[in-house]
Structure 1
Amino acid sequence: MNALATVLHIIAILGTGLVAGVFFAFSGFVMQGINRLPAAEAARTMREINVTAVRAPLMLAIFGTALLVTVLAVLTVVGGPAGTAWWTIAGAALYLVGVVGVTAGANVPRNDRLAAASDEDGPALAAAWDSFRPGWTGWNHVRTLGAATACLALVLALL
């Protein structure tokens, strides 16, 4: 593996680990803390978090890492060492499917439905939260596992 590929792998490992940590924090205690609030207040809190989440720090971590693992997979296919190829490709696939795919297909649609709930109608907002939370959190566990296993696969590729 050349020096550039090694540096890219290390940055990808840091990116996948960082994203896994963010998702772990949400699964581990953020959602549990928000859920201790009255349901309508919890919904409002999560909506505010969702507004701030789509800014540079998190978006760069998630999608910058997605770009990086894609580049690594392509570089590996066109000329990477045979022993590391499968771990790198597996890491990229785990990240792209388990993080980007799940985010786009499961978490963002739930965020959108929560955002669409009427802020004026407290009981409807509370019902929206009660519908939102279990599925969103479950899929967030999947994202956590996807990012963490991608990180592990990329580490194994370097070994």
Structure 2
Amino acid sequence: MATVDHSFFILKLFALLGCGLIAGVFFAFSAFVMNALARLQPTNGIAAMQLINITVINPLFMTVFLGTGGICIFLLISSLLRWHRTNTVYVLVGSLLYLIGTLGVTIFFNVPLNEALALVKPDSTDGVKLWTTYLNDWTFWNHIRAAAAIAASASLTLAICS
């Protein structure tokens, strides 16, 4: 039983660290990256964001982003089976916050916006029109996923510390 508890602790710790790393990335975009891109000429802002959207798909980021999701799925299921244990609710809430508020929002809102942006030429009229709405919509959804990742980190911290 001690080995199972130790493994569960390690998984909670990895989920906490992953949520924290992702929260930091999304916070940076909300706090200053998108503001900086908005100050560029639309052609340059579009081109920069298109490059960001390509380069973010790399093994290191995707391992942390999706790996944290995988751990949260496991923790979610495990927490349902360990419901009688102290502080299990924090694991459940933290996992749900990451899975729905971070991963889900990315898949259903930010990625489609990124895909639409990828289709326009930065110097086109359509690109400039899209850019204005893209900045507002993408940043709004990024605030949501940043807040969800921060809240997930807090919940998993409570699960570990209390």
Per-residue deviation, residues 62-102 of structure 1 (Å, max 9, x unmatched): 11000011111222222365222111011111110001110
CA-CA distance at 1:118 after TM superposition: 2.8
Per-residue deviation, residues 114-133 of structure 1 (Å, max 9, x unmatched): 11113452x32222211210
Aligned to 2:133: 131
Structure 1: segments with no counterpart, 5+ residues: none
Distance 2:21 2:122 in 1: 33
Amino acid at match of 1:57: L
Distance 1:16 1:50 in 2: 20
* 2:23–2:147 CA contact under 8 A, matched in 1: yes
Question: Percent identity over the alignment?
Answer: 34
Count matched residues: 158
Structure 2: segments with no counterpart, 5+ residues: none
Distance 2:136 2:122 in 1: 20
Alignment root-mean-square deviation, CA: 1.4
Aligned to 1:65: 68
Per-residue deviation, residues 39-67 of structure 1 (Å, max 9, x unmatched): 11101110010001112122111110000
Amino acid at match of 2:101: G
CA-CA distance at 1:137 after TM superposition: 0.2
* 1:107–1:140 CA contact under 8 A, matched in 2: yes
Q: 1:55 aligns with which of 34, 54, 58?
A: 58
Distance 2:64 2:97 in 1: 16
* 1:43–1:128 CA contact under 8 A, matched in 2: no
Distance 2:28 2:19 in 1: 14
Aligned to 1:12: 15
Distance 2:18 2:128 in 1: 35
Structure 1 range deviating more: 59-68 or 134-143: 59-68
Task: Normalising by structure 1, report the TM-score.
Answer: 0.94
